[in-house]
């Protein structure tokens, strides 16, 4: 582990640890994978405007999300099927989240049940959902998440249909059993279906989901609701009007609509219309502490980490996930110091320069 010096190195380790089908499933994006690459590339085009002669002898990275304190604005994104990466699955990821004092968003497509994840550790957990045609199935899982002590519901809205992930089609990827849903089991999908993930999704997900359904979700849960998958100011405004409690600017890690913009390039337009009324989070391509800083400077309250967490899990289990989060925290702490920002509140728009800004 001491040999690993940055998050990207876990990708190679994961590639070696995993069967090709599973590695491809985790790594892949939709079609030409342009958005997948752009998520990372767009961060590299943002430069710093560091300030000097500021007392940075003490750095405080801590912040709060929906009132819950976390040690740094780096959370764990919902990703499915952690047992493909490691036998302990999501329980290992959750223990790492607890050790790092951060929030894990548990995917409803988890391979451990949501209750198993809940009882494995005392991490603050949010629960991510998709809405199925069988609304009763979604409603049941929301109730179970409430009972198991999850603190918020994260509704993912960018999957009315599954994006074309060509590696999964080639590999005839069959998703494993979905532990949270009896009767919706993906094991009914046959290899002849091409990508089993897609076959399952097109059968189960409700493509008619629309803004009116936020009221339905509100009617079945008292928990705060975040919407994940917003990329425009128009939809950000609709989300605020719908009364949700937070937004995640996300393109699903480039796995849905290819040629969606890199998330960091649209963060500001979302933040601009939200006007601080609800927290705006961001995910997609965050691989460095400098990326975390850039997202905060452009208005995010925190970032979510997707693939690096899964790669850490595949390579080294719970310790790997912990190392991923710790490395990002250490890099972020250093970035704050070198930019002259001792606290999160000190990070401002003036600390970065985007490509469209002249010197």
Residues labelled catalytic: 252
Please name the residues in contact with 316: beta carbons below 8 A apart, sequence gap of 6 or more: 1, 13, 323
**Residue among 11, 79, 91, 339 that touches ligand FNR (CB under 6 A):** 79
Count residues contacting ligand FNR (CB under 6 A)?
Answer: 23
**Residue among 89, 253, 299, 342 that touches ligand FNR (CB under 6 A):** 253
CB burial of residue 119 (10 Å; 0-12, 13-18, 19+)? middle
DSSP 72: S
Alpha helix segments (H runs only) across 221-306: 233-241, 263-274, 289-297
**Residue among 83, 86, 228, 316 that touches ligand FNR (CB under 6 A):** 228
Q: Alpha-carbon distance 8 to 324, whole Å?
A: 9
- Per rule CB under 6 A, is residue 128 in the interface with ligand FNR? yes
**Residue among 73, 284, 299, 342 that touches ligand FNR (CB under 6 A):** 284
Q: Alpha-carbon distance 152 to 193, whole Å?
A: 35
DSSP 262: P
User: How distant is the alpha carbon of residue 311 from its chain centre?
Assistant: 14
As given in the structure block, the two tokens for residue 297 are 């400077």
- Per rule CB under 6 A, is residue 286 in the interface with ligand FNR? yes
The helix (H) or strand (E) run that includes residue 128 is strand 125-129
- Per rule CB under 6 A, is residue 78 in the interface with ligand FNR? yes
Residue 117 CB neighbour total at 10 angstroms: 30
Question: Which range of residues in 63-71, 113-121, 238-246, 303-311 is near ligand FNR by CB under 6 A?
Answer: 303-311
- Per rule CB under 6 A, is residue 120 in the interface with ligand FNR? no
- Per rule CB under 6 A, is residue 179 in the interface with ligand FNR? no
- Per rule CB under 6 A, is residue 38 in the interface with ligand FNR? no
Nearer to ligand FNR among residue 39 and residue 102 (C-beta): 39
- Per rule CB under 6 A, is residue 250 in the interface with ligand FNR? yes
Q: Alpha-carbon distance 296 to 122, whole Å?
A: 27
Q: For the segment 90-119, give every residue that binds ligand FNR (CB under 6 A).
A: 107, 109
| 165 in a labelled binding site | yes
| 306 in a labelled binding site | yes
Least Å distance, CB 78 to ligand FNR, is 4
> Residue 250: helix, strand or coil by DSSP?
coil
Least Å distance, CB 18 to ligand FNR, is 11
CB burial of residue 191 (10 Å; 0-12, 13-18, 19+)? exposed
Binding site for ligand FNR (CB under 6 A): 26, 39, 77-80, 107, 109, 128, 156, 228, 250, 252-253, 255, 283-286, 305-307, 310
User: Which residues participate in the annotated binding site?
Assistant: 107, 128, 130, 156, 165, 228, 250, 252, 255, 283-287, 306-307
User: Which residues participate in the annotated binding site for glyoxylate?
Assistant: 165, 252, 255
């Amino acid at each position: 582990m001491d040999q690993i010096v940055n998050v990207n190195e876990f990708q190679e380790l994961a590639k070696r640890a995993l069967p090709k089908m599973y590695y491809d499933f985790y790594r892949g994006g939709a079609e030409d994978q342009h958005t997948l690459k752009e998520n990372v590339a767009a961060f590299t085009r943002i430069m710093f405007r560091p300030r000097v002669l500021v007392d940075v002898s003490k750095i405080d990275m801590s912040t709060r999300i929906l009132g819950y304190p976390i040690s740094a604005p780096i959370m764990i994104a919902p990703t499915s099927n952690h047992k493909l990466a490691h036998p302990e699955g999501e329980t290992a990821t959750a223990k790492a989240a607890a050790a790092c004092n951060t929030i894990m968003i548990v995917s409803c497509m988890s391979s451990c049940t949501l209750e198993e994840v809940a009882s494995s550790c005392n991490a603050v957990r949010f629960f991510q959902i998709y809405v199925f045609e069988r609304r009763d199935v979604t409603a049941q899982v929301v109730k179970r998440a409430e009972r198991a002590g999850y603190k918020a519901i994260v509704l993912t809205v960018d999957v009315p249909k599954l994006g074309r992930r060509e590696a999964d089609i080639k590999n005839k990827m069959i998703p494993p059993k979905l532990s949270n849903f009896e009767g919706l089991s993906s094991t009914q999908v046959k290899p002849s279906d091409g990508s089993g993930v897609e076959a399952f999704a097109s059968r189960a997900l409700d493509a008619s989901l629309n803004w009116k359904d936020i009221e339905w979700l509100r009617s079945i849960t008292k928990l705060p609701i975040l919407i994940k998958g917003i990329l425009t100011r128009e939809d950000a405004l609709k989300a605020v009007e719908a009364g949700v409690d937070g937004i995640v600017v996300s393109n699903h890690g480039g796995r849905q609509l290819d040629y969606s913009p890199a998330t960091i390039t649209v963060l500001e337009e979302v933040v601009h219309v939200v006007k601080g009324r609800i927290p705006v989070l961001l995910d997609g391509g965050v691989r460095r502490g400098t990326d975390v800083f850039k997202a905060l400077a452009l208005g995010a309250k925190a970032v979510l980490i997707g693939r690096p967490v899964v790669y850490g899990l595949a390579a080294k289990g719970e310790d790997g996930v912990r190392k991923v989060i710790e490395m990002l925290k250490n890099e972020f702490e250093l970035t704050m110091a070198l930019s002259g920002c001792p606290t999160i509140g000190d990070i401002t728009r003036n600390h970065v320069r985007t490509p469209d800004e002249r010197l």
